[in-house]
Structures are given as C-alpha cells and as structure tokens.
Structure 1
C-alpha cells in the first residue's frame, strides 16, 4: 500500500488533477474532503472523458469524479484486495479506516510484489540479464533463498566465468553456482 496517498479535494481544478496524475504516473487519485474522508475518485479516463476544453480544465474535480467509491478496509487481506480489484476491474483501490478516512491506496503492482515470491522475482531478473548477454534463452536458472544456480552449455570456461560474474551483479543474488 502507498500511504499517505497523493490526493486532491473536490475543489481542485481538473487541470491540476491531470498534472498530478501525469507527474506521478498514477491511474487515479482519491478525492478527500477537508477531514480526509474519501468522497470520490478521479481517473485519467474520467479526466479525458470530461474533455480538456479550457472551461472544463478550470472546473473542479467534483464535476468529473466518480462516487460512491469502491474501497477496502485496512483489515482486508491481499487475497480480498485482489478479488475486489479483479471483479471490479480496478487498477487501484483506496484503503480506508472507519469506513471513510483514507489511509492509502493499493495498486496492482503492490499486490504483485506481495504475491510474487522473492526468488521468482530474482530468477526473472537473472534470466533477463542472461538473455541480454546471449541474445536469447541458453541456460536454465533456479533460485532458492537468493542462491542462484545456472545450468546449460557454455562455449568455454571463459564464457562460464562471464556468466557467473554477470549473475553476481544482479541485486539480491547471495550466491551463485554456474555449471554445464
């Protein structure tokens, strides 16, 4: 979860909300009142649908925001958050306390980080580095608790040492084993 969330209020000009979305690369922004209660959400699609005429751009977010907002309580599990986001086709989900006070936002990438084992992420990074070096998949990569094993054919001992050195440069690798 990202918290505290970047937010706008209902009186924020559409142009400002658009700039904030673009600057941060978010898909949507929660809209909160002066007490921090979630009152709406505005996405890039909402802003585009509103039309970026000079008059619309100066108008308040309240005119284009969606409400009521689908949100989740702080007690929701990753599985519950995932189910809600998938069933509602959401890219992000506001997280609230006491049914209305915004505490943060969960994105798809937040959930992927939680649900993807660290070794799987490390294996993907190592495989990417090896593909960049060789131009394609040539070796099999296995990772167990940060220990990387690379197996497959090497042109010679020099190439094996290059691959081993390359694997050690990948952040998170604790130990390497490279063999034919």
Structure 2
C-alpha cells in the first residue's frame, strides 16, 4: 500500500492569488485543516493552514491573498510513499495533512492523519469501537465487553433478560461489516465473604 492508495482525491487547491476570504470559505466548507497552494501547471508552491488564515482574518486588511500568508517550505510525499513514510513525515513536521505530488511536482492528492489512521487501524478494532459506542449509548454505562475477530463479534457481560439480548443483538447488527454475533453471559458478582 502506498500514498496513491491512501490519499484523498480529487484534491482542493488554491493559488497564491486566491483571497484569504475565499480560501477560508473552502476550508470551512470542506472541514480541511490546510490547503495546498499551486502555481502554474498545478505545481506545489506552498501550503496555507487554518491557522494562517485565522491570523490573516484577525489582522483585517494586512494580508489579502493566500500568497501573503502561506508557508513556502513545504513537505510533500511522492505517490509511492508507504504509510510508515507518510506517518514519519507528518509527525516529524507536525503536519495534519501532507500533499502528494507526482514525479513533476504536480499536486495529485492529500493524505490526512485520519486517512493514515484508517489504513493503520485494523477493521476489527473499528467494528469493536462502533459496537461499544452503540451499546454504551443504549445502556448509558459500559456493561459489556466487545471483541471482534474477522468480523465476528462476541459481546460478553450480563443481560437483564431475553428482550435485552435481542436489543443488543439488533444494535450490533446495525454496524456495517459485522459478520456474526455471539452473546456470552457472565455470572453476576456475588457478595464478598
């Protein structure tokens, strides 16, 4: 797996001549943390972050274009970069996202922290987290342990009655990717002697 398999595309970019206001609108509209800044031919020339734009918006009239506030020393990744290389670059430079460029330096995608986490986190862990979230919301406490192996979910804990067992089963079945569900009852704790 390489950057080309992980990156988000199409990529939203701005140019140095883009107004701070227009770039801010793109960030807000799409929920990005930063935008690649491209020059002629789509070549990467900088990055403008939400922080850059926030400062520019607070200093009204001082900076009006992205070119005035962007960072020009930019880390980028090539299409063949591995997830490990991407993570190292992002952590090493304290980046939330990393532009991906082709051999010519043209921006072809962006890799975010969440993109990397998605590929580095096993699917079973994601299923377990989603099932746990649903069950905790249902019971308002953490009453059950959830383990997942190859999409097969095992919910272990105490169940009030058969109706609750059916509710738990139905809730877990709503998680996309669940292949099977098994409920295991543990005995209620007894008093201390």
Normalising TM by the smaller chain, what interval? over 0.9
Aligned counterpart, 1:41: 47
Aligned counterpart, 2:191: none
TM-score by length of 2: 0.88
2:123 maps to 1:118? yes
Count of matched residue pairs: 179
Shift of 1:53: 4.7
Could you list the runs of 5+ residues in structure 1 that have no partner in the other structure? none
Aligned counterpart, 1:108: 113
2:16 maps to 1:25? no
2:22 maps to 1:16? yes
Identify the match of residue 148 of structure 1 among 147, 150, 153.
Answer: 153
Shift of 1:165: 1.5
* Cα root mean square deviation, aligned: 1.3
Could you list the runs of 5+ residues in structure 2 that have no partner in the other structure? 1-6, 186-193
Secondary structure of the structure 2 residue equivalent to 1:161: helix
> In 2, distance between residues paired with 1:61 and 1:165?
51
2:165 maps to 1:160? yes
TM-score by length of 1: 0.94
> In 1, distance between residues paired with 2:47 and 2:104?
15
Given that 2:127 and 2:148 are in contact with CA atoms closer than 8 Å, whether structure 1 keeps it comes out as yes
Given that 1:14 and 1:56 are in contact with CA atoms closer than 8 Å, whether structure 2 keeps it comes out as no
